[in-house]
Structure 1
Amino acid sequence: MWDLPTRLFHWALVASVVALVVSGQIGGNAIDWHAKLGVAVAALLLFRLVWGLVGGRWSRFTSFIYSPLTTLRYLRGQSTPHAEVGHNPLGALSVFALLAVLLVQVGSGLIIDDEIAFVGPLNAWAPAEWVSWASNWHRESGKLLLIGLVVLHVAAIAFHAHVKRHNLVKPMFTGDKALPVGTPASRDDIVTRGLALLLLAACAVAGVWLWQLGYANAM
């Protein structure tokens, strides 16, 4: 069901976000790692945005964009087989919310100025009022909102596992899930994996460029 690039992205993002929160809380010398991880997350998000357009069938955003009516029916227990294949309507909302908050959090980190030890790589091109807002958001509201969404996401996974008896974690490791007969599979072969690798490499290059840009501005 889930293609390999999507699964690797998911777990790389999980590890990176956990490390970001920990390093941000520690502060001090850990901020350098926090900044590097932030750039890595920026590259991962860029990859996911593009992969959401060209990736495997169930990794594409079009496969889990639901209308308000479909979401309402799902809440009433009137689910369709399609809604149980990949992300269900509530899971889709969670994914889009997490991606949006992460994008804002990463974007604010690119222009932040903590007035102590770190200046974002794009800080020099941002208006002073943007920098002020981004600095406050990144350290306070944005961080709390992100942690809150992650907690809700984990709680939803636990609810599905223990109440609805749906294991949502295993398919993200194996890529396999019991589905209704006739459900189209995601393409996941050497060609799509090669495309994903090239795309990830391009996103990594963009991330390195951002890091070097910040280093040049600090000189």
Structure 2
Amino acid sequence: MPDLGPNAGPGPDERQKIRLWDPLLRGFHWLLAFFVIAAWCLGQFGPLKMTLHFWCGYVVIGLLAFRLIWGFLGPKPARFSTFLRGPGTVLTYARGFLAREPSHWPGHNPLGALSVIAMLAALIAQVTTGLISDPDDYINVGPLASYVSSATRSKAVGLHELGGSVILVLVLLHLAVILYYCFWKREDLVKPMLTGWKDVKRD
């Protein structure tokens, strides 16, 4: 590995390995990734009768409910109050985003926190439109479609299709940033979500 110079991030003596992500949060992350991808693939390429697509959606609803609860009652690194930052902190972090050095941030960094909120918001909107959609095929009607007007049911179909595209972009952006951190900033963001342990800046 080439020498990155004096500004190449904290040295070994300035870092500490901590247990960051708890097992439930790690399980949530990988289950959500699996069922969101499965639901998207079934929606795009699956059979006409989307029973499996609906069941993937129900699992995603349960996972989202868990994450919202865990965001308030879970361990400190999982709480929204811990990783949501003000504009000043976000801008300060963004200025160093292109630097070829790891951040060793203790948890979601300020930009990553925004992506978490964006993904959660997009998924909540997506499952909501899925629950009330009625594509007029008498097959794939959302379980709550009868509780809204016909105009709302029809509009929800288009919004659900648009939401699928938005989620695809967010997922691809998420993967691109992970690769960017791995190869440019030399920071592995995947391993901590597997093991729970991460090198962070020493307090």
Which range, TM-score by smaller chain? 0.7 to 0.9
Structure 2 CA distance for partners of 1:138 and 1:176, relative to 1, 3 Å: same
The aligned residue for residue 87 of structure 2 is 68
User: In structure 1, what residue type is equivalent to 2:143?
Assistant: P
Alignment of 1:5-24 (within 5 A): 5-24=24-43
More displaced stretch, 144-153 vs 83-92: 83-92
The aligned residue for residue 74 of structure 2 is 55
Alignment of 1:48-197 (within 5 A): 48-77=67-96, 84-116=105-137, 117-139=139-161, 141-182=162-203
Question: Unpaired segments of 5 or more residues in structure 2?
Answer: 1-19
CA displacement, residues 104-141 of structure 1 (integer Å, 9 cap, x when unaligned)? 000000001122221111111112222122111112x1
Structure 2 CA distance for partners of 1:131 and 1:30, relative to 1, 3 Å: closer
CA distance in 1 between counterparts of 2:46 and 2:95 reads 45
Q: CA RMSD in A?
A: 1.8
Task: For residue 120 of structure 1, give the secondary structure of its aligned residue in structure 2.
Answer: coil
Structure 2 CA distance for partners of 1:29 and 1:157, relative to 1, 3 Å: same
Task: For residue 200 of structure 2, give the secondary structure of its aligned residue in structure 1.
Answer: coil
Runs of 4+ in 1 over 4 A off after TM superposition: none
User: In structure 2, what residue type is equivalent to 1:106?
Assistant: V
User: In structure 2, what residue type is equivalent to 1:118?
Assistant: N
Structure 2 CA distance for partners of 1:129 and 1:83, relative to 1, 3 Å: farther
Q: Sequence identity of aligned pairs in percent?
A: 42
Question: Unpaired segments of 5 or more residues in structure 1?
Answer: 183-219
CA distance in 1 between counterparts of 2:48 and 2:157 reads 19
Q: Name the structure where strand makes up a greater proportion of residues.
A: 2
Cα drift, residue 30 of structure 1: 5.6
CA distance in 1 between counterparts of 2:60 and 2:191 reads 23
User: In structure 2, what residue type is equivalent to 1:109?
Assistant: G
Task: For residue 201 of structure 2, give the secondary structure of its aligned residue in structure 1.
Answer: coil
CA distance in 2 between counterparts of 1:69 and 1:181 reads 22
Task: For residue 177 of structure 1, give the secondary structure of its aligned residue in structure 2.
Answer: strand
User: In structure 1, what residue type is equivalent to 2:167?
Assistant: L
Is residue 134–residue 141 contact of structure 2 (8 Å, CA) maintained in 1?
A: yes
Cα drift, residue 159 of structure 1: 0.4
How many residue pairs were aligned?
A: 179
Q: Name the structure where helix makes up a greater proportion of residues.
A: 1
Task: For residue 178 of structure 1, give the secondary structure of its aligned residue in structure 2.
Answer: strand
